[in-house]
Amino acid sequence: MLDSSKHVLSCQRLKTLAGVTVAEPIQKVAAAQKNAFAVILIMDQAGWHMSNNLIVPAIIIILPLPPKSPELNPFKNLWRFMRENWLSNRVYKSCDDIVDRCRDARQNLESQPWCIMSIGRREWANFLSSARRRTSPI
């Protein structure tokens, strides 16, 4: 039988980990771009992305996407693809098992860069960029 109190604590731990993992890539980007004038990171407005506890280096400018605009966030399509192909319709033994399966799904996806490009592509964005190429004087 599932102990709901352990489940709630485990999922709360997972949310805390998600908040912590947002800070780490921001710090890595800042370190890698230390000679840049500024780095703009575009993020959705998930609670852990926009937390007041998030320490953002001076070089980083966070540009939040408008609320409820998944069409502007191609990562949502990546998550949907991973859920549909590797993560859904399964019973997980623990939160650690969920994290392990998510890591496996990410590695599967990383081994298929052509798939990432097709999932992240927006038909309307391709249309605009091809229209610009046709009208370009060069």
State the pLDDT at residue 21: 62
Looking up tokens 């998550």 gives: 79
Q: 43 and 9, same structural domain? A: yes
Q: 56 and 114, same structural domain? A: no
Residues spanned by the domain of 119: 74-138
State the pLDDT at residue 104: 92
Q: 50 and 27, same structural domain? A: yes
Consecutive H or E run containing 42: strand 39-43
Question: Mean pLDDT throughout 71-94?
Answer: 86
Closest by Cα among 9, 21, 12 to 51: 21
State the pLDDT at residue 42: 82
Are the CB atoms for 67 and 88 separated by under 8 Å? no
Q: 91 and 130, same structural domain? A: yes
Domain count, the chain: 2
